[in-house]
């Protein structure tokens, strides 16, 4: 067959991994990134202070493993395991909340470190060409003509592709172009909260706090979190409503704010650093995107944030983007096998077969990504408020106990999301069933307890209490 060429727009985490997958499957790959090559020393700081730290878990590792187990192993050399949340109260007390009763953990990883590893991996394929300092201008998906601009020279270039992959982030230009070709349902929503990053330097040559936890200072309507880095520092991120950011402008105000709400963090970061970084670091916005479909015929597909940007509170943005690539690859390979070919070279798919595979991907994946976008938003409330709520902690304890006893039947929500590859939409359905079952079980236990206490009371005190049936009715109406 003639050469099959894919143009990937966006050389971040998702785009660079997608380049590796397509190269492995026999495609000729051209990847275009509008920023310079961050592997060069003069550009190594381009991704710092622009985004929240990353946490990689099973879905991300699964995609790396499918591509190459050795790549997964190399990435794991650069992560720091986080076994749970460390909750910091106002009085300085710290309480550990394990993520999983079987000691499964998520992992902190530097964004720039991971991008460099993936770009190096992509460069190792002879059929991959990386183009930096090129921004996407437009594309004619029907003819495969893609136009890009060299941001250094100001020149416009045209290339031809059999498939265009948009991995160019939440404000994707490829998605905008796709919207002109398909009847796309699209929504973009900003939440009323923003974020600002701070750095906590090592203390006496070591981590200033326990490095094997994600640290949280929950304060109801806002919170501070901290993730460990390999250089023994922590990246701290303050999330709070824009209305609160507006109240904190001067050095004195930010110092007073930290002293009131995060006194132990202030002592570890230092007043001078808090003031300097609050003034210098950008205040980022938080938004989420939902859209469908993700594809156009056999000609275009969007992946990662371009298709489903989400708020960062479940640590699933990158993991979901990596899983996009794995899900698409599985469908393409299966479609190839169903056509009678025994190899995995998806470059051999005909246009009709590729069209079929892309349509299936769009239909099935959009349901799952919509579910995780919603879960990520809901988890913000859990992190900033519920982690110190007694009802939440009681349920977490009960679910953990039941999960240990019945590991295949009762699975906590966080475990399903972070430590399995159960489709996100199925996770939500199972979680809703478990919630209903738990409520019914607790109600039944409560009724049985009331009836038992009532029977003992009647024997001891005589018929001075309401009938047992009425007592049961009263209790169940309150549950």
DSSP sequence for 92-149: S-EEEEES-TT---EEEE-HHHHHHHHHHHHHTSTTEEEEESEEEEEEETTTTEEEEE
- Enter the tokens of residue 301: 């597909």
Q: What's the pLDDT at 469?
A: 56
Q: CA of 458: how far to CAs of 45, 215, 296, in Å?
A: 75, 51, 72
For the chain, residues with pLDDT lower than 50 are 49, 475, 478
Two structure tokens written together for 378 = 């809901």
What pLDDT score was predicted for residue 447? Answer: 59
- Report the residue count for the chain: 479
Instruction: Give the whole-angstrom CA distance, residue 113 versus residue 129.
Output: 20
- In angstroms, the CA 147 to CA 157 distance is 6
Contact 134, 148 (CB under 8 A): yes
List Cβ neighbours of 193 (8 Å cut-off, separation of 6 or more): 222, 239, 240, 241, 242, 286, 380
Ramachandran region, residue 270 (left: φ > 0; alpha: ψ -120 to 50; beta: rest): left
Could you say which DSSP state residue 203 is in?
A: B
10 Å Cβ neighbour count for 35? Answer: 16
Q: How far is CA 434 from CA 378, 393, 431, in A?
A: 18, 16, 5
pLDDT given for residue 49 in this prediction: 47
The predicted-structure confidence for 15-41, as pLDDT tens digits, reads as follows 999 999 999 999 999 999 999 999 998
Q: List the strands of the sheet with 213-218, edge to edge.
A: 94-98, 84-88, 213-218, 223-228, 234-241, 185-200, 284-292
Helix (H) / strand (E) containing 377? helix 351-384
Q: What pLDDT score was predicted for residue 461?
A: 57
CA 382 to chain centre: 16
Pairwise CA distance, residues 151 & 129, whole Å: 18
Non-local CB neighbours of 335 within 8 Å, separated by 6+ positions: 349, 353, 354, 356, 357, 360
Residue 363 is predicted with a pLDDT of: 98
Determine the 3-state secondary structure of 172 from DSSP. coil
Q: Which two tokens stand for residue 127?
A: 């059929």
User: What is the layout of strands, in order, in the sheet containing 156-160?
Assistant: 134-140, 145-150, 156-160
Residue 452 confidence (pLDDT)? 63
Count CB neighbours of 338 within 10 A: 11
Six token digits for residue 115? 């991008």
């Amino acid at each position: 067959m003639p050469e099959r060429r894919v143009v990937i727009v966006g050389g971040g985490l998702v785009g660079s991994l997608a380049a590796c997958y397509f190269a492995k499957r026999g495609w000729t790959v051209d990847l275009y990134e509008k920023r310079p090559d961050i592997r060069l020393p003069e550009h190594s700081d381009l991704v710092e202070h622009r985004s929240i730290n990353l946490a990689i878990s099973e879905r991300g590792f699964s995609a790396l493993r499918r591509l190459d187990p050795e790549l997964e192993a190399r990435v794991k050399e650069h992560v720091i395991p986080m076994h749970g949340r460390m909750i910091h109260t106002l009085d300085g007390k710290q309480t550990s909340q394990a993520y999983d009763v079987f000691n499964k953990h998520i992992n902190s990883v530097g964004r720039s470190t991971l991008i460099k590893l993936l770009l190096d991996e992509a460069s190792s394929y002879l059929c991959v060409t990386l183009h930096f300092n090129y921004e996407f201008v437009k594309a004619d998906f029907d003819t495969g003509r893609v136009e890009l601009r060299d941001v250094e020279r100001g020149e416009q270039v045209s290339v031809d592709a059999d498939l265009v992959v948009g991995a160019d982030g939440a404000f994707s230009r490829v998605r905008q172009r796709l919207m002109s070709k398909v009847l796309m349902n699209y929504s973009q929503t900003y939440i009323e909260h923003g974020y600002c990053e701070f750095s906590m330097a090592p203390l006496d040559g070591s981590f200033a706090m326990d490095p094997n936890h994600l640290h949280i200072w929950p304060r109801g309507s806002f919170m501070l979190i901290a993730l460990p880095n390999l250089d023994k520092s922590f990246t701290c991120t303050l999330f709070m409503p824009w209305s609160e950011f507006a109240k904190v402008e001067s050095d004195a105000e930010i110092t007073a704010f930290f002293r009131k709400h995060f006194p132990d963090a202030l002592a570890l970061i230092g007043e001078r650093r808090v003031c300097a970084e609050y003034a210098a670091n950008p205040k980022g916005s938080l938004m989420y995107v939902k859209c469908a479909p993700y594809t156009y015929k056999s000609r275009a597909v969007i992946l990662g944030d371009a298709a489903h940007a989400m708020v960062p509170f479940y640590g699933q943005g990158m993991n979901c983007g990596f899983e996009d690539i794995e899900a698409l690859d599985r469908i393409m390979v299966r479609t190839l096998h169903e056509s009678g070919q025994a190899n995995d070279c998806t470059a051999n798919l005909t246009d009709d077969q590729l069209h079929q595979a892309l349509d299936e991907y769009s239909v099935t994946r959009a349901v799952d990504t919509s579910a995780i976008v919603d879960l990520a938003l809901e988890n913000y409330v859990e992190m900033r408020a519920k982690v110190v709520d007694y009802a939440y902690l009681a349920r977490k304890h009960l679910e953990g106990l039941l999960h240990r006893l019945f590991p295949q039947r009762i699975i906590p929500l966080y475990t399903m999301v972070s430590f399995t590859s159960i489709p996100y939409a199925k996770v939500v359905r199972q979680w809703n069933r478990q919630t209903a079952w738990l409520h019914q079980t607790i109600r039944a236990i409560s009724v049985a307890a009331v009836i038992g206490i009532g029977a003992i009371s009647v024997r001891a005190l005589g018929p001075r209490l309401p009938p047992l049936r009425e007592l049961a009715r009263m209790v169940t109406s309150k549950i």
